[in-house]
Amino acid sequence: MDLGRSLFEIFLMFLAAKVVGEVFHRLRQPAVVGEIIVGIAIGPHVLGWITDPNDLLAELGVIFLLFSVGLQTQVSDLVRVGKTAAWVAVLGVVLPFGLGLALMKGLGSELHVALFMGTAMVATSVGITARVLADLRKTELTSSRVILGAAVIDDVLGLIVLAIVTGMAQRSISGLSIVLIVGQALAFTAFVAWVGTHVARRFSVHLDKLRLRNPGLVVSVAVCLGLSAAAAYVGLAAIIGAFLAGMVFAETREEYQLHEKVEPIYDLFVPLFFVITGTHVNLPVLLAPPVLWLGIWVTLLAIVGKLVGCGLAAWGLGRRDALIVGIGMAPRGEVGIVVALVGLQQKIITPDLYAVVVLMSVVTTLFAPPLLRWLLGGRER
């Protein structure tokens, strides 16, 4: 596709995101829902105005989103909620996985198909919830921190389950390779969170000695891009790296006005991520009856699994916060779709089951933001 056409599509997606964002603000609904819906509408499967959504641009958008959320989260905040977050992550993996497995076995699927559907129901996409929390300026609540901490752990657990289940389906799993993947992921997260924070605390006071304009922004974004690429390299989601990078610079964010400087980048690129996510949804396929009925059941269990699993684990925070955590962990977003794509490519699941997972991912993604907004109160902006 030539550059002129690409520019036109970026312009169109940006304009659509902002017009819909304005309308949703006025309706007191979360802009993110409008952005996904408008993406579905103008994407290749419905109106066809967007023919070639740019995934790299989307990736940069979600990286800046999680970087920005990380900037509002200090390591010490996460440590304080660490135990609760760990339980939220574990129960939020076990329950949806068990429900998915049971449903598919009950419907007569083969074991490896049922195991895979369970896995697809495990994923959490922290992007959606992070966006709602950021727009409402609620990232500093305890329940928000539990969600963000649990999302990091959840990503590592989800990776483990995916590695085991795809390995079992291909009968090619070795204990060693699982241990390696998991070890890398855990070592990466721990190393960045602890060592990174100390290094940043030690050296960030010297950033002013650089002759570059905006040294704080430049160095922290370089670290963000580097850690995102490194996270992808060890098999984690790139956005985990971006979140950790933000967290590493959270203590120095005031000094270099990092939050103010990231805001314009956020406003330009983050909405593009959600519009592009929408363009990937093939609405006609999702609405075909066999997919639709199974999809409704899978979606219900996916919601119940996270709501009950994560909610129970967070019960100590009080009923309202437990509910916020349960709903905040429910969106599967692009992570669910990516897991399903792995299953489709490795021929573990059929295209129909792929569409079921996509439906589940879309619905869990769209239902959570309005509820969160209502539970958290307050106005966006």
142's tokens: 């305890």
User: Do residues 92 and 313 touch, judged by C-beta distance below 8 A?
Assistant: yes
CA–CA gap between residue 307 and residue 341 (Å, rounded): 25
288's tokens: 């075909």
Q: Which residues contact 122 (CB under 8 A, 6 or more apart)?
A: 92, 93, 96, 97, 100, 154, 157, 158, 161, 339
Q: Residue 27 half-sphere exposure, CB side, CA atoms within 13 Å?
A: 13
**Which one, 214 or 282, has the nearer CB to a copy of itself?**
214
CA–CA gap between residue 333 and residue 337 (Å, rounded): 7
Phi, psi (deg, nearest 5) at residue 122 = -80, -35
**Which one, 60 or 91, has the nearer CB to a copy of itself?**
60
Please state the closest distance from residue 203 (CB atom) to a copy of itself, in A.
15
Please state the closest distance from residue 333 (CB atom) to a copy of itself, in A.
16
> By three-state DSSP, how is residue 172 classified?
coil
The total number of residues written for the chain in this structure: 381
Q: What angle do CA 345, 1, 231 make, to 5 degrees?
A: 45
**Which one, 52 or 352, has the nearer CB to a copy of itself?**
52
**Which one, 26 or 171, has the nearer CB to a copy of itself?**
26
**Which one, 54 or 282, has the nearer CB to a copy of itself?**
54
**Which one, 225 or 283, has the nearer CB to a copy of itself?**
225
Please state the closest distance from residue 10 (CB atom) to a copy of itself, in A.
6
**Which one, 99 or 217, has the nearer CB to a copy of itself?**
217
Task: Tell which residue, 124, 56, 60, 59, has the closest CA to residue 89.
Answer: 124
Please state the closest distance from residue 152 (CB atom) to a copy of itself, in A.
18
CA–CA gap between residue 39 and residue 17 (Å, rounded): 8
CA–CA gap between residue 303 and residue 319 (Å, rounded): 17
Q: Which residues contact 48 (CB under 8 A, 6 or more apart)?
A: none
**Which one, 219 or 327, has the nearer CB to a copy of itself?**
219
Question: What does R_g of the chain's alpha carbons equal in angstroms?
Answer: 20
Please state the closest distance from residue 290 (CB atom) to a copy of itself, in A.
32
**Which one, 63 or 340, has the nearer CB to a copy of itself?**
63
Please state the closest distance from residue 135 (CB atom) to a copy of itself, in A.
9
In the complex, the residues that contact a copy of itself under the rule CB under 8 A are 3-4, 6-8, 10-11, 14-15, 18, 21-22, 25-26, 54-57, 59-60, 63, 210-214, 217-219, 221-222, 225-226, 228-229, 232-233, 238, 261-265, 267-268, 381
CA–CA gap between residue 190 and residue 1 (Å, rounded): 42
